[in-house]
Amino acid sequence: MCSSDLYDGAAKGCTGSWTSGDGSGGTNVDVAYEGTGSTLYGPSSSAPTDAGTYRAVATFAGDQNHVASSDATTYTIARAGTTLDVASAVDPSVFGESVTFTANVAPVTPAVGDMNGTGTVSFSDGTTPIAGCQNVALVDGTARPATATCVTADLTGGTHTIRASYSG
């Protein structure tokens, strides 16, 4: 039995047991894990902690009365949700003035850990990408929230709806 669950930083593994036709059985089963598809992991005897799809192989080595056997299953640790907000350092601004937008990204509980190196943020004015503000790396993720910054002086006069999208 495997624990498919939402990412929270804890190991998510499988337990195994065996039962023979004579009613005997036990839990002396070894489980090995490896990532499948785009998930890079293992092979390892340690249960994975990161979000992804894994294959677990349970193996009973056999004993003096029972032959060895194994079985495999695939399970998923789902990615945790995030919150994202964007704010302007200057509001309102003067036409032609540089404006700094900051996006804050944080994991939703029960997720744990920092957000450094885990995705980028792209900024847009409505649906129009802001030049130089695409795929901005997150920084300071250990402080929660992680931030991405966009600086632009290219906005036209008027009201703007600035959007930020996080790539995960």
pTM of the model: 0.66
Give the contacts of 58 (CB within 8 A, at least 6 positions apart).
Answer: 14, 16, 29, 30, 31, 70, 71, 72
Note the pLDDT of residue 80.
80
- E strands, the chain, in order: 5-6, 18-19, 25-26, 30-35, 52-60, 69-78, 82-88, 99-107, 120-125, 128-129, 136-137, 146-152, 162-166
Give the model's pLDDT for residue 165.
94
Segments in the chain forming alpha helices (H): none
Q: Residue 85: what pLDDT?
A: 92
pLDDT at position 116 is 55
Map tokens 């996080």 to a residue. Answer: 166
Question: Is the C-alpha dihedral spanning 129, 130, 132, 135 positive or negative?
Answer: negative
The dihedral of CA 36, 37, 39, 40: what is its sign? positive
pLDDT in tens, the chain (168 residues): 777 688 888 899 998 888 877 777 778 889 999 999 999 999 999 999 988 999 999 999 988 888 899 999 999 998 888 888 999 988 888 888 899 999 998 877 766 665 555 789 999 999 999 999 999 988 865 656 888 999 999 998 889 999 999 987
